[in-house]
Amino acid sequence: LHYLAIPPTAFPEVVTLLGKSGCAANARVAVEKPFGRDLASARALNDTLHQVFPETSIFRIDHFLGKESVLNLLYFRFSNRLLESVLNCDHVDNVQITMAESFGVKGRGAFYEETGAIRDVIQNHLLQLTAILAMDPPVGDDVEAVRDEKARVLKAMAPVDAAKVVRGQFRGYLDEKGVAADSKVETYAALEVRIRNWRWAGVPFFIRAGKSLATDVVEVRVQFKLPPHDVYRERPPTPEYFRFRVSPGANILALGVHVRQPGEATADREIELLASEAPAHPVLPYERLLGDAMRGDANLFAREDSVEAQWRVVEPALEKADTPQIYEPGTWGPADADQLLAGYPGGWVEPPRASTE
């Protein structure tokens, strides 16, 4: 097992030399994300790799896919019938996916200037998480079964509407070492994704990610539609929901429902049914993924067509050259992000802090 840290400009030369030296014969190559900077560069990287390695020997690592909680979400979906019948456009109003980090760029300003929030986590981590939630059940149990369904739903995603992309930058980012004085790089992004298939037609997936936000959390929240008829003439202010905590800490599965408030009058009360389980001895994501790569198990790795589909989805957001809105550290980002959910019951929902669960 050899690890090479190389600059992007040297990538084609290194791959070519691996082929000429014979090192690529009967070998596998693991490539760290981000895989390219946009759709064109991702295709160029794929072309370069395929000159030396077959697709079956290329393992594109996204460590997020090796997390125990991400694997648990996939397992939960297809090992239970509890939610499968309602995870569709007939019952779901909207889906919210949040990746919040309370810290800034931790001295990696020069790196972040080359990436930004969309390239850093939305194009890869969060679109893969969206695919896991939205995909259809895999057909068969071979190594490509899950990857086929992920690719199918990613290809069904429409390119984002640039008008429904909000970019932000936390106050103080310009003072970071390695950051340009007039930088327009986003440290926060929120956008809307639509999936053009039968299951999800008309359902918006709202995705947001940012640095220096109010807390540290990665969470998926499915907001269901309100009941079609208000039997008690007291329509709940918020719909029922399902949420799944990816990080930090324990695997958390919660269902928010409405019950009757005790007393003489009929009144609504919202409660949350919560299940929490801390992994006993979690395997570290890179440990799991590198082990799988050495064994030739590609199940948890991003495939060529999926990577290119993800870049196609976010490309309009990358091309948006507006000045990011300044937001204060410790908040939930720029106020304009709230407009993305205008008209949806409850708007953005702040995930509970880990200390409360």
**Closest-CA residue to 209 (of 316, 96, 290, 295):** 96
Token pair 């990538």 is at which residue? 11
**Within a 13 Å sphere around the CA of 217, how many CA atoms are in the beta-carbon half?**
24
Distance CA 129, CA 220 (A): 8
Distances from the Cα of 275 to the Cα of 117, 209, 351, angstroms:
31, 25, 15
Q: Work out the burial of residue 101: count CB atoms within 10 Å of its CB; fewer than 13 is exposed, 13-18 middle, 19 or more buried.
A: buried
125: tokens are: 């981590």
Strands 268-277 and 251-260, bridge-based pairing: antiparallel
DSSP 187: S
Helices (H) and strands (E) in the chain, counts: 9, 11
Strands 58-61 and 188-194, bridge-based pairing: unpaired
| Active-site residue flag, 125 | yes
CB contact at 8 A, 168 and 186 = yes
Distances from the Cα of 91 to the Cα of 84, 109, 200, 345, angstroms:
11, 43, 10, 14
203: tokens are: 């359902």
* Residue of 125, 229, 258, 281 with catalytic role: 125
Partnered with residue 29 across adjacent β-strands are 58
Distances from the Cα of 7 to the Cα of 12, 21, 185, angstroms:
10, 20, 21
Q: Catalytic positions, please?
A: 125
